Structure 1
Amino acid sequence: MKEIIYIQAGSISNYVGTHFWNAQETYFTYEEGDDPYVNHDVSFREGQTLKGEPTFCPRLLLFDRKSNFGALGRGMYGEEESENAVLSQWNGAVDELRQPAVPKSKYQTCLESGDDVSQEDSKDIRYWSDYSHVSYHPRTPQRLPDVADYENTEGDWELSRDAFTKYNESTDLMEDAFRFFVEECDNIQGLQIMNDTSTFGGFTHSFLSAFRDEFTKLPSWTFSFLSDSIPVSLNVDDPRSIMKALNDALCLQGLNGLSTMTIPFYSPLLWEKGSWLSEIDLKDSLFQSASIISTHVETITLPLRLKNSQHTMTNLSSALTTRGNQRIGHLAGTFPVQENVRDLETKLYDLTLNTSKLSKPDQCSGCVDVSRGFSEPLKLKHSDWRGGWRQGAIIVESPAILPPTSFPRYFKSGTTPSSLSALTTLTTTSRTASLFGQYAKLADNCTKQYAHVIQQMGLEMDDVKELRDTLHVLEDEYRGDETNSDDEDELGEDEE
């Protein structure tokens, strides 16, 4: 058994993470004789509720602001904490001011009552906890204090780092909650992180720094959700937009040095419409877009949890970084897949560069493909197609996706199929050079025109100059021998 410890930090990450864990629970089998194809112990720990009932809980630390938790219970495995639990420790007079409790969602109410659970509509979702189906260990929810209404810390790198320092000092996070999950593991294989850069970028950087102080060689994969401010379409009259984009650049620079593999995502607000969404009626809903991201994150990491799989975070990371020390990966995919190889050619969408224009001649260090629910003919077509494009690609075939009851009802067919197919591919590629190049230009412009933004973020001018130079070095490293700058131009055209 090779356990993974999971970290989720931020609202977007927890929307994606809730779908991720609901999908994990569909692998549990309850009929005698059924043999699951996933090793549950990789991601779940076994325990007991306060009533002595056996339960499985994710090996997870979940960070967010208190107001974003919704009706998620504070007690053991989701049971509500007693109202008098804290007051019983105080003998003095009490003037109690209690805010009304957040009512449970329709989905949660049906789960608790044992009624038939129907699929959620986007309009019914207020918080990521509204559609959560799993039980959490008491150490999993990590509630950070809310910020005042007049404060806007989004995109503020230094305040985000300071939040980690204060929270770690007040809760002894690393020595208590994190170490609890580590010490339960027999043979930990690594850390999987999802984080929002705009609100938890500096926080995650500080967490990973503390992690690396003790676990210098343990692999970590970070799925990082960038803000909706990108350099090529930046509103230069809005300091907040500049701040968020510069914060993204700082996050990419920091993660490149701390995480074994980092997979950035552009905001779903910036997604292109096109053939890759031909089967889905996608609304402007984080609940819906998070399910698509989660499907691909869950699919590409599935080999780490499959029974009898030889794949680990260590060997897959090595396979992806065969050409130098390239730690930034591109995640692309298509979902759902029809029985047509053209779906693989025309509907593969790069969620890292936010484009469906995947040019084949780019230099590629490594490639991992994971397919879900492919028929035998499609498996052969996929193997031939991929073999002609990426020599030496790792291809993992796995069963179809069984969507949980919480899955969005966004299919144009009008119903959610009982099983779904998907293809997800993770690559390290020269196309990443354009990503670093755009942020390097932003950092350079900040040193010349936006000194007030740098000051507002609590940064020194030398910090931003160093960031600019580091990003240019990374741009050159990822571009390699490729002299064609079409990728960079293409990124600008796509984003505009």
Structure 2
Amino acid sequence: MHEIIYVQSGTYANYIGQHFWNVQESYFDWEEEPEEVNERKPPEVNHDISFREGLGTNGVSTYLPRVLIFDSKDVFGSIPKYNTMYESVAGEEANDSASWTGQSVSYQQPLHPKSQYQCDLDEQTTKASQTIESRRTYNPSTWADYTSVYYHPCSIWPVSYILTGTGNKWDEGEDAWGRLQHENDFWDKDFRLFAEECDLLQGLQATSSASDAFASLSASLLQTFRDEYPKLPALLFLPLSQRKEKFNPYDLAERRRLSTESKMLVMSAEAEATIIPLQCPATWSKGQWTTELALDLNFGEAYQSSALLSAHIESATLSLRLNSNPTSLSSLTSLLNYHTDTPISHLSGALPLYDTLFTNKIYDFSTVLDASVPDTPTFSACTTYRGLLSPQTRVNLTERLEQSIGIREPLLQLFIVLCPTISYFDFIPSYSGNSFEQCTAAVYVAHNLSHIIIS
């Protein structure tokens, strides 16, 4: 099946990841299948690449994301480790105290209240005519407040022993990884559960914080993955923290943050991961690329900025999950790093896009320079255009890409898919009421020695 294992580590990385999984879930077609086999059309997205099939504790078939989620214990909010599909497991653990014949007192922590998003989702489920209002109106306290998917118990990893003070964050993350290994036997029990049930594992796609303790936890995981699976690729999206205009050498917290980011980049490269850094949304500059976005879009809110980043990441990797003519994670990472010594790439894109004229609408989320003018030399590219195009328009699009980027096949790859872009478009007022053919998305990832484009 060419499965992929996903890893999300850190709060902002999980904000991005939650949008990603909400969209993957929206690609499922829950309508009744036609009676005649000839009328059935396979979905454009191969869900088996990102989802695993299994059985719940009641024998009910489950189809859940193949993902490992690490975050602070208090951030998981209303997401339990054992959801309704596995609640009997939690019940059995609770009943272990039945062997105790003495007096006991039970203390139960109050449950985290459901968010408005989840309440609206429940109401939409019970009332088919109901529709969720614009997601821009939500103000979730954590990424767990807007989840619309269930997770396997092995996916949930609340880390309660990572400190939040001013200590050495790198050492704290390594300590957390050591405890996961020794106390929970994480790698041999849980990671292998996902890996060994795959027919043909093609690699790892990770999104991780870069400047806190979760950076070293992720770096340790990547190194272990490289030791165990030396021939499989890893693609890493790395949200960076906000940089100050002037570096203060006497600011100990700033020095530790920069040191952690530097170590993360070095160790990820040593683990042979293809790295795509993402600049902090606070550094984004508004321009022509934001003209079609909602006027009240706030880059300072993690919920909204992560939706934009997730839209580009989901589009940038969509070619990995297609049913027809997909590319492999190995081919993608090899294309971006065909020199074998350029592990860092850039993520850029145009969203939304109503035609093939996207040159002035592309924004680079990885550079600290003028991101609206990507002028770094490009040596390789993978592009995906989401929308319906005529054969002649496809030829014109390819020619325009070759002229603007300055490279040709096979170093320039183009994928044209029909998958609608969902969820993120609550941030795009002009999308309301338009058909999918009128609203497409473009994403562009680049480095001075490699890049990806998705349109």
Same fold judged by TM-score > 0.5? Answer: yes
| Counterpart secondary structure, 1:194 | strand
CA–CA separation in structure 1 for the residues paired with 2:216 and 2:433: 39
| Counterpart secondary structure, 2:69 | strand
Q: 1:104 aligns with which of 95, 111, 114?
A: 114
Q: 1:212 aligns with which of 201, 221, 226?
A: 226
Instruction: Decide whether aligned partners of structure 1 residues 308 and 387 sit closer, same or farther in structure 2, where only a CA change above 3 A counts.
Output: same
Corresponding residue of 1:64: 71
Q: 1:124 aligns with which of 129, 139, 145?
A: 139
CA–CA separation in structure 1 for the residues paired with 2:166 and 2:187: 27
CA–CA separation in structure 1 for the residues paired with 2:356 and 2:450: 27
Paired amino acid for 2:448: T
Aligned-pair RMSD on alpha carbons? 2.6
Q: 1:411 aligns with which of 418, 428, 431?
A: 428
Deviation, 1:240, is 1.2
Q: 1:338 aligns with which of 354, 357, 373?
A: 354
CA–CA separation in structure 2 for the residues paired with 1:254 and 1:312: 24
CA–CA separation in structure 2 for the residues paired with 1:190 and 1:175: 17
CA–CA separation in structure 1 for the residues paired with 2:162 and 2:326: 45
Matches within 5 A, 1:464-475: none
Matches within 5 A, 1:31-430: 31=31, 32=33, 33-76=40-83, 85-90=92-97, 91=100, 92-112=102-122, 114-115=125-126, 116-119=130-133, 120-145=135-160, 147=162, 151-152=165-166, 156-199=169-212, 200-229=214-243, 233-281=246-294, 282-283=297-298, 284-339=300-355, 341=357, 344-354=358-368, 355-360=370-375, 362-376=376-390, 379-388=394-403, 389-392=405-408, 393-404=412-423, 407=424, 409-413=426-430, 415=432, 419=436, 420-430=439-449
Contact 1:74/1:81 (8 A) holds in 2? no
Contact 2:238/2:277 (8 A) holds in 1? yes
Deviations 1:187-226 (A, max 9, x none): 1110111101123111111111111221111111011111
CA–CA separation in structure 1 for the residues paired with 2:3 and 2:89: 33
What is the TM-score when the length of structure 2 is the normalising length?
A: 0.86
Paired amino acid for 1:106: Q
Structure 1 gap segments, 5+ residues each: 433-496
Contact 2:248/2:254 (8 A) holds in 1? yes
Contact 2:337/2:450 (8 A) holds in 1? no
Deviation, 1:395, is 0.8
Paired amino acid for 1:398: V
Instruction: Decide whether aligned partners of structure 1 residues 131 and 416 sit closer, same or farther in structure 2, where only a CA change above 3 A counts.
Output: farther
Instruction: Decide whether aligned partners of structure 1 residues 359 and 15 sit closer, same or farther in structure 2, where only a CA change above 3 A counts.
Output: closer
Instruction: Decide whether aligned partners of structure 1 residues 233 and 335 sit closer, same or farther in structure 2, where only a CA change above 3 A counts.
Output: farther
Deviation, 1:82, is 8.0
Instruction: Decide whether aligned partners of structure 1 residues 340 and 299 sit closer, same or farther in structure 2, where only a CA change above 3 A counts.
Output: closer
Deviation, 1:66, is 0.8
Deviation, 1:24, is 1.0
Deviations 1:76-102 (A, max 9, x none): 466657886544223254444433211
Instruction: Decide whether aligned partners of structure 1 residues 416 and 299 sit closer, same or farther in structure 2, where only a CA change above 3 A counts.
Output: farther
Deviation, 1:359, is 4.5
Structure 2 gap segments, 5+ residues each: 34-39
Instruction: Decide whether aligned partners of structure 1 residues 314 and 15 sit closer, same or farther in structure 2, where only a CA change above 3 A counts.
Output: same
| Counterpart secondary structure, 1:335 | strand
CA–CA separation in structure 1 for the residues paired with 2:154 and 2:18: 17
CA–CA separation in structure 2 for the residues paired with 1:249 and 1:63: 21
Contact 1:122/1:288 (8 A) holds in 2? no
| Counterpart secondary structure, 1:179 | helix
| Counterpart secondary structure, 2:154 | coil
Paired amino acid for 1:204: S
CA–CA separation in structure 1 for the residues paired with 2:318 and 2:193: 25
Instruction: Decide whether aligned partners of structure 1 residues 340 and 40 sit closer, same or farther in structure 2, where only a CA change above 3 A counts.
Output: closer
Contact 1:122/1:285 (8 A) holds in 2? no
CA–CA separation in structure 2 for the residues paired with 1:128 and 1:24: 16
Deviation, 1:308, is 2.7
Q: Which moved more, 1:307-316 or 1:2-11?
A: 307-316
CA–CA separation in structure 1 for the residues paired with 2:305 and 2:356: 24
Paired amino acid for 1:304: L
What is the TM-score when the length of structure 1 is the normalising length?
A: 0.79
Contact 1:44/1:58 (8 A) holds in 2? yes
CA–CA separation in structure 1 for the residues paired with 2:426 and 2:27: 21
| Counterpart secondary structure, 1:396 | strand
Instruction: Decide whether aligned partners of structure 1 residues 233 and 296 sit closer, same or farther in structure 2, where only a CA change above 3 A counts.
Output: farther
Corresponding residue of 1:451: none
Deviation, 1:246, is 2.0
Corresponding residue of 2:36: none
Contact 1:368/1:427 (8 A) holds in 2? no
Corresponding residue of 1:479: none
Contact 1:370/1:397 (8 A) holds in 2? yes
Deviation, 1:411, is 2.2
Paired amino acid for 1:318: S
Deviation, 1:347, is 1.6
Contact 1:4/1:189 (8 A) holds in 2? yes
Corresponding residue of 1:491: none
CA–CA separation in structure 1 for the residues paired with 2:265 and 2:132: 40
Corresponding residue of 1:442: none
CA–CA separation in structure 2 for the residues paired with 1:13 and 1:53: 31
Deviation, 1:323, is 3.0
